[in-house]
Homo-oligomer: A and B are copies of this chain.
Amino acid sequence: MARAATTTDVFNAIAEPRRRDVIGVLADGREHAVGEVVVRLRMAQPAVSKHLGVLRKVGVVTVIRRGQHRMYRLNAAELKTVHDWVRTFERYWTHQLDQIRRRAEQKAQERLISKVSGKKEE
Contacts and interface: CB of A to CB of B under 8 A. Distances in A.
Contacts of A110: 64
A14 B81 CA distance: 13
A7 interface: no
A122 B80 contact: no
A50 interface: no
Interface in A1-43: 3-4, 6, 9, 11-12, 14-17, 20, 27, 29
Interface string A61-96: 011111100000110110110110111111011000
A105 to B, nearest CB: 11
Contact of A4 (B15, B64, B113): B15
Contacts of A77: 92-93, 99
B79 A83 contact: no
A15 B85 CA distance: 12
A76 B93 contact: yes
13 contacts: A4-B17, A9-B17, A11-B17, A15-B15, A27-B89, A63-B122, A64-B113, A64-B114, A65-B119, A66-B117, A76-B92, A83-B87, A86-B86
